[in-house]
Amino acid sequence: MGLLALKNKKITRRSKEDKVFDIINVFLVAIILILVVYPLYFIVIASFSDPNMIYDGKVWLLPKELTFEGYERIFQDNKIWLGYKNSIVYTVVGTIVNVSFTLMAAYALSRKDLYGRNVIMFLFLMTMFFSGGLIPTYLVVKNLGLLNTMWALILPKAVAVWNVIVAKTFFETSIPNELLEAAKMDGCSDAKFFWKIVLPLSKPIVAVMVLFYAVGHWNSYFDALIYLNNENLYPLQLILRNILIQNEASTMMISDLDSLAAKQRVSELIKYGVIIVASIPLLIVYPFVQKYFVKGVMIGGIKG
């Protein structure tokens, strides 16, 4: 037993090069982790800290002179809550439309018995390299009567070709043809096979599509900037943009302050606070789809 243990120890002994490699890897990963995590952490502590302490460089690891004034003004402002509601509606409805169209298109293109599927796939791929441009797209949206409606933010981007390719690869590698043949022998139609068999077996790729599209809708502001003129329809990100870039916080939430310095101070608190408020929904949803997300990306992106 002693000789066997000694032999196993020799076999598992790591060389000096391996140890050096591990040290370098740990060092690089630690640096990347700090570069990614610290800015996010700084935004969190800055939202609770006195802006004067931030300007003086005294806020590093812990908040200084705690204040909740920024959050109080955010939660008291009707435009923030209206933008929050609009973003939730656009994200939920848009994600349902996106995922439905993407999965149906991807499954159809994954079927070898689809007539002309190579031509259809080629036409899909063409849109990844060539587009009509901003002005023609705007004219199409206008002529369809979609301006100043939520559909202007959803229908023009109902399907992302790259996501169709990922989902198509998943269906081709995860849904065997024998399953379809067996279902047809039992009298199952194509539509019933898709809804009753394919979708329940495709939870990983569905989770991937939901996360991709939901994040895109939640973070989007450019389409709203182009197609929406009614402030009551603005999503949260567009309101956030107005605060961060156009500095509208001075007139939107702090009109009760006379001092310019006081306005700037509260404006900084609001900027950090709105970033946190806007990020909370995605941070809440992600842990629930993480296990499916990793599996779906691996299967849909590598196999095939």
- 146-195 pLDDT per residue, tens: 899 989 999 988 898 888 988 898 888 888 888 888 888 888 888 888 88
User: What mean pLDDT is predicted for residues 70-80?
Assistant: 78
pTM of the model: 0.75
Maximum mean pLDDT: which of 63-67, 104-108, 179-183: 104-108
Quick one: residue 75, left, alpha or beta (phi over 0 = left, psi -120 to 50 = alpha)?
Answer: alpha
User: What mean pLDDT is predicted for residues 195-217?
Assistant: 86
Alpha-carbon distance 204 to 298, whole Å? Answer: 10
Q: Which positions ≥6 away from 98 have C-beta within 8 Å?
A: 154, 157, 158, 159, 160, 163, 209, 213, 217
Question: What six digits make up the tokens of 25?
Answer: 């890897």
Alpha-carbon distance 211 to 179, whole Å? Answer: 28
Q: Which of 211, 82, 98, 99 lies closest to 153 in space, CA to CA?
A: 98
User: What mean pLDDT is predicted for residues 214-236?
Assistant: 88
pLDDT of residue 260: 61
At the topology level, CATH places domain 70-302 in: MetI-like fold (1.10.3720)
pLDDT of residue 115: 87
Angle 144-125-295 from CA coordinates, rounded to 5°: 105
